[in-house]
Amino acid sequence: MEVQREINNPSFCLLHLPFVAMKHVLQCMDSTDLLRTAFVSKRMGRYTKLANARIDLIEIEFTNNRSTINLIDFGCLVESYKKKDIMHVLPKKTEEILKMFQHYQKLIYKPKTISTNVLNKIMDSANIHRFLNIAAEIPKDFNHKNKFKFDQVQYQDATWVKLEDILSMENVGRVQFNRNNFTQNQINTLLKHWVASDIDMFYRIILDLNDGIEITEVLEELLTVQCRSGAMTSYFTLAKTTANTRERPILVICRHGRFMILTGWRSDKLLMKGPDDIYDKTYIILKFLKRKEEIKAELERNDLELATRRRLGEEEKKLVAEIEEMNVVFENGQAVVSI
């Protein structure tokens, strides 16, 4: 009976194994079992680290008096450990926790202040698959080459971010700046630079606009399609560059409450859908409007032959008809689509 019980419930003491065998066992564990094992004791935590076993899908949240380690899978919470429950194994210093969970997926830092040393450790861990949210007040002289090199990054305090930091962006993912010092002139400069740039500066930026800032001044200089959806109004325009270096030539400028949202879209695969797939038609509408402006400029020439003038006139009529078929109306010269 004893032999049968051992066969049905095979078990062994992990700590009794040689390290080579233990390393293999740890590396074969899934993230849930590996995380549980790492929190058994400081000794097992060290072995887990030495085995270089990846604990993926980790969400780390730092607050003033506790830290939380969550295991997230497909957006669902699988395991959650608070600092008080794992004090015996969790390092005290933030940088040591980062070292212990170097394959984290999401990091949230909520204390009111953060040191440059901790910031540098966080930035050193940046990659395009990670989410970062820092609520702390960041030193005004802080800078790091990886400050935007996350899949998503949100700075609750962005008063340290300079306009030059944004203008020099190249293929950045999603960034949100809450409290900031950007002025009306700087916002105008940003929008003009983004539209004229030869590269995709970013996929999306969300910027909390300070009181009194408007974006209509720059919009009046652009060929746009205005889309209205409830309380939110979006303006679609095309990048001005003629280079083929922009994969996202459709630019969306949205004002929603205090926030300005800037997004770049691909022309062959728009990510948003609306009634009648209006977003899929936006690129076509913009191209029609651009061609309509080109025809208008040509018709203003005095040296046009009569046949050419008639041909352009007929083309313009067809463009107007096609634009109207797409439920586009004009209000004071502005193309508008309601969805």
Q: What is the DSSP-derived secondary structure letter of residue 123?
A: H
Domains and CATH numbers, the chain: 1-54 (1.20.1280)
Q: Look at residues 48, 9, 15, 47 and name the one whose alpha carbon lies nearest to residue 31.
A: 48
Which of residues 165 and 28 earns the better pLDDT score? 165
Sequence-ordered alpha helix ranges (H) in 260-305: 278-299
Q: Mean pLDDT throughout 83-87?
A: 54
Angle (CA) 284 215 319, round 5°: 20
| Helices 278-299 and 306-325, packing angle to 10 deg | 160
Q: Mean pLDDT throughout 42-53?
A: 74
Sequence-ordered alpha helix ranges (H) in 29-111: 31-38, 42-50, 94-100
Exposure class string for 257-267: b at 16+ Cβ within 10 A, else e:
eeebbbbbbeb
Strands 172-179 and 67-73: unpaired
**pLDDT for residue 5:** 47
Question: 16-20, 180-184, 273-277 — which is least confidently predicted?
Answer: 273-277
Sequence-ordered alpha helix ranges (H) in the chain: 2-8, 19-28, 31-38, 42-50, 94-100, 116-124, 163-167, 184-196, 216-219, 278-299, 306-325
Q: What is the mean pLDDT of the chain?
A: 82
Residue 83, SS3 per DSSP? helix
**pLDDT for residue 6:** 45
pLDDT-derived band at 276 (thresholds 50, 70, 90) equals very low
Whether 106 has a pLDDT exceeding 80, the answer reads yes
114-151 residue pLDDT tens: 989 889 989 998 888 889 999 999 999 999 999 999 99
Q: Mean pLDDT throughout 196-216?
A: 92
